[in-house]
Amino acid sequence: MLYFVSTLQGTYHRDAKLDMLLGRMAQHDTGALEAFYKDTKGAVFAYALSILKNPYEAEDVMQETYLSIYSAAGKYHSTGKPMAWVITITKNHCLQRIREQSRFDPRPWEELDLYLENKETLSVENKEVISYCLKQLKEEEQQILLLHTISGMKHREIAALMGLALPTVLSKYNRALKKLKEKLRDDSVK
Amino acid sequence: MKNIENQIREAFEKLAPNQFEALLSKSKTEKGKEIVMVENKRQKNTLVTGIMALAAALVLFVGGAFGTNLYRMNYRVATQVSLDVNPSIAIHMNQKEKVLEVVPLNEDGKKVIGTMDFKGSSLEVTVNALLGSMLRSGYLNEIANSILVSVEGQDTATNQTVQQHITKVLEEVLQQEAFAGSILSQTLQPDESLQSLASSHQMSVGKAKMVQEMVAGTDKYTFEDLSDLSIHELNLMQQTAATPLEKLQSSGTASEKAYIGEDAAKEIVLQNLSLTEEQISGYHIEYDWEKGTFVYEMEFFAQGVEYELDINAATGEILKLEKEGKLVEKQPEGNPVQQSPGFLPAEKTQPDNISQSTAVSDTVIGEDSARTIALQHAGLTENAVRKFKCQLDREHGRMVYEIEFEAAGYEYDYEIEAKDGFILKAEKELD
């Protein structure tokens, strides 16, 4: 319970910080852009990856997304939900990219393993978590789990983003979390 | 075992690449690129439709006498604000200072507005966003720092309040920039003839008014002459003019960073005429616009002679020199050797694109020597060469001979330093 309270506060502070950074970005403060980028890139990349299923495409979309965010920062009206705004922009860029590619990649995740291998900073455990989340979980579960854990978006915000009912989001989240826990426990038993 | 949620977060934070440097450089080249809110729009629209329906219902409910008033308060253009930099943009507002529409008045204005939609926004938000976009697109910067705000409406008091409000917003935004801005502002009463003059020149009524006033006191130039100038250039002119425009409120001064500056202009002239500071009197200098060039117009007396000069404000080139009213135009290009202080030859020439050495000229080796140097370098004789071209030009602040010729199926391209014959560039290409 204590942990729960502290995450909530963490989220609250982070949203206020992101709001503030967006305000400064509207004045073309590139320092603010850098801080904003560092704070949010994990979630943006994970979300783009979940939709596009290709790390290189996700990298491209991530850059496009931040360019949009930077140039549109002046239009952001603080709603206290900066992350929802960021993720919506990410989603739009992903969908745009999918539309632009007439051929849809028939083999999703084909390039993921090699990509993970080349990331030297990732531990074995990190790679396992990533692979499992992306390859084993269903797309909806995966997005709900990633958005909440990485970006701190509230379940309510995720429900609105994905057009799902709040209870559905909650149950999918818990199911995904449980699956991942079991998987990791099984692995550590082996 | 670590908390599973933290584990996920940590793994993905590490996974996401850090390409901030690339992003930063891209953000500089792709300024102003606008975002496409595909999914959101639909949701927004339903919301907007909902609100509109509600508003419509409310109007019906309130009905009758209030209805017309409500309409007037909400949808009629009560005040029009225009921003001119070089982009010209008009903001139409209702009585409550809510934006009804933002209209680009020229091509640059279109670029600034992009896909932004300000309907229903407050004036402050709108001005902020427009200014932000102008800064991002480089229309306003250290070199061109002037913006004109014009408020047009029936009610003088409202006009003034709005004028002060916007000026304050602009000042606040500009304060955060690394340079100081110069804000000109004015209030206007609606004027149809001015309106048509403005729209035929793709500018705001405010800018038309400013140009009109600047032209009014002089027969030096017409409305057409000045209509293409940016606000910054107009600001510079009115700032140094003998009679500044009184009706304009201004804060800050127009930046002269794009130009060599009055002191440098003076120095160039004195050096060229072999005069000293002490010898001159009645000195006056101001910005002027001559045949498409921004110039310093300078006047003074020295040794019983009255001088009047035009100096290209950006390059320092002397474009016109009049002594005692006798016109002595600048010499033909390409021969600065002959330029000795105080005696600019009286030949008439076309103004051309080569900018001239401004200080006392260097000596040059001459075309023949340059040709010999190039041919020697290429290992060719005079007879082997076709289509020989040699031109004295100014490149990166030094005089060079640009030489081109063809020989044995190759094209040669040389740049030779004019003062010592040093080969700056040698290219040989298959024809």
Q: What is the pLDDT of residues B232-252, one digit of tens each?
A: 888 888 777 766 676 777 777
Is A126 close to B27, i.e. CB distance below 8 A?
A: no
Residues B245 and B377 placed together within one structural domain of the fold: no
Q: What is the structure's pLDDT at B38?
A: 36
Chain A interface includes B175 (CB < 8 A):
no
Q: What's the pLDDT tens digit per position in B161-176?
A: 888 888 888 888 777 7
Question: In chain B, how many domains are there?
Answer: 4
The answer on B324 and B212 residing in a single domain is no
DSSP state of B76: S
Contact B40 A75 (CB under 8 A): no
Q: End of a domain among B338, B359, B390? A: B338
Size of the A and B interface in Cβ pairs below 8 Å: 138
- The pairing of beta strand B88-93 with beta strand B99-104: antiparallel
> Does B13 fall in a domain?
no
Q: Mark whether B170 and B205 lie in a shared domain.
A: yes
Residue B362 within any structural domain of the chain: no
Shared-domain flag, residues B104 and B204: yes
Give the strand order in the sheet containing B318-323: B280-290, B293-302, B305-312, B318-323, B326-329
Which of these three, B338, B356, B376, is where a domain ends? B338
Q: Which of residues 327-386 of B touch A (CB under 8 A)?
A: none
**What band does A9 get if pLDDT is binned at 50, 70 and 90?**
very low
Mean pLDDT of B29-55: 50
Residues B97 and B205 in one domain: yes
Chain A's closest residue to B36, CA to CA, is A92
Task: Kindly report the CATH number assigned to the domain that includes residue A97.
Answer: 1.10.1740.10
What mean pLDDT is reported for chain A?
86
- Provide the pLDDT for residue B431: 67
Residues B375-400 have a mean pLDDT of: 83
Q: How far is A33 from chain B (nearest CA, A)?
A: 9
Predicted local confidence at residue B13, as pLDDT: 92
Q: Which helix (H) or strand (E) holds B306?
A: strand B305-312
Flag whether residue B36 sits within 8 Å of chain A, measured between CB atoms: yes
* CB contact at 8 A, B385 and B375: yes
> For residue B52, what pLDDT is reported?
63
Instruction: State whether B100 and B41 are in the same domain.
Output: no
Whether B96 and B239 map to the same domain: the answer is yes
Residue B393's region, left for phi above 0, alpha for psi from -120 to 50, else beta, is beta
Q: Cβ contacts (< 8 Å) between A46 and chain B: which residues?
A: 12, 15-16
CATH of the domain at B310: 3.10.450.40
At residue A12, does pLDDT exceed 60? Answer: no
* pLDDT tens-digit readout, B56-112: 655 555 544 444 555 555 667 778 888 888 888 988 888 777 888 888 888 888 888
Higher pLDDT: B96 or A152? It is A152
Residue B202 and residue B225 share a domain = yes
pLDDT classification of B350: cutoffs 50, 70, 90: very low
More confident position, B167 or B254? B167
Interface confidence, given as ipTM, is: 0.90
Distance from CA of A45 to the nearest CA of B (A): 6
> Which residue of A lies nearest to B129 if distances are taken between CA atoms?
A74
Confidence band of A69 (pLDDT split at 50, 70, 90): very high
pLDDT (average), residues A26-46: 92
pLDDT value of position B332: 42
Note whether residue B20 is domain-resident. Answer: no
Q: Would you call A46 an interface residue with chain B, using a CB distance cutoff of 8 Å?
A: yes
Report whether pLDDT(B146) > 80.
yes
User: Residue B397: is it exposed, middle or buried by C-beta count within 10 angstroms (0-12/13-18/19+)?
Assistant: exposed
Domain that holds residue B404: 367-430
Give yes or no for a contact between B82 and B185, defined as CB atoms under 8 angstroms apart.
no
In a domain, residue B188? The reply is yes
A71 contacts B136? CB cut-off 8 A:
yes
Give the residues across from B298 on adjacent strands. B285, B309
Q: Are B255 and B179 in contact (CB under 8 A)?
A: yes
Structural domain boundaries enclosing A13: 2-189
Give the C-alpha separation, B380 to B60, whole Å: 93
Structural domain contains residue B156: yes
Contact yes or no for A89 and B16 at CB 8 A: no
What average pLDDT score do residues A102-130 get?
Answer: 82
CA distance B3 to chain A (A): 10
Q: How many domains, in total, are found in chain A?
A: 1
Residue B353: CA count within 13 A, CB half-sphere: 2
Residue A135 sits at the chain B interface (C-beta within 8 Å) = no
Q: pLDDT above 90 covers what percent of chain B? A: 3
Q: In what order do the strands lie in the sheet with B386-395?
A: B386-395, B398-407, B410-417, B423-430
pLDDT of amino acid B428: 76
Same domain, B92 and B202: yes
- Asked whether the beta carbons of B170 and B181 are under 8 A apart, the reply is yes
Q: Which of B114, B108, B113, B110 is nearest to B86 (CA)?
A: B108
Measure B244 CA to nearest chain A CA, in Å. 33
Q: Which of B20, B35, B177 sits opposite A37 (nearest CB)?
A: B20
Q: Which of A156-165, B340-349, B375-384, B403-412 has the lowest mean pLDDT?
A: B340-349
> Is the same domain home to B232 and B279?
no
Joined tokens for residue A65: 């997304």
Asked whether residue B375 falls in the same domain as residue B399, the answer is yes
Neighboring chain A residues of B35 at a CB cutoff of 8 Å: 68-69, 71-72, 89, 92
Please provide the distance, in angstroms rounded to a whole number, between the alpha carbons at the two ends of chain B. Answer: 73
| % of chain A exceeding 90 in pLDDT | 53
- Shortest Cα distance from B410 to chain A (angstroms)? 44
Sign of CA dihedral A172, A174, A179, A183: positive
> Cβ of B324 under 8 Å from any chain A Cβ?
no
- B21 to chain A, any CB pair closer than 8 A? The answer is no
Q: If pLDDT is split at 50, 70 and 90, which confidence band does B51 have?
A: low
Chain A neighbors of B24, CB-CB under 8 A: 30, 33-34
| B5, part of any domain | no
Nearest to B136 among A28, A95, A188 (CB): A28
Residues B166 and B94 grouped into a single domain: yes
Q: Which of B27, B38, B132 comes nearest A96 by C-beta?
A: B38
Q: Tell me, yes or no, if B26 comes closer than 8 A to chain A by beta carbon.
A: yes
Looking at mean pLDDT, say which of A6-15, A36-45, B43-52, B321-330 comes out highest: A36-45
**Chain A residues 68-127 with a CB less than 8 Å from chain B:** 68-72, 74-75, 77, 88-89, 91-93, 95-96, 116, 119, 121-122, 125-127
Check pLDDT > 60 for residue A33: yes
The predicted model scores a pTM of: 0.41
Nearest by CB to B9, from A34, A75, A149: name it: A149
Rounded to an integer, the average pLDDT of B297-304 is 84
A81-103 pLDDT tens trace: 899 999 999 999 998 888 877 55
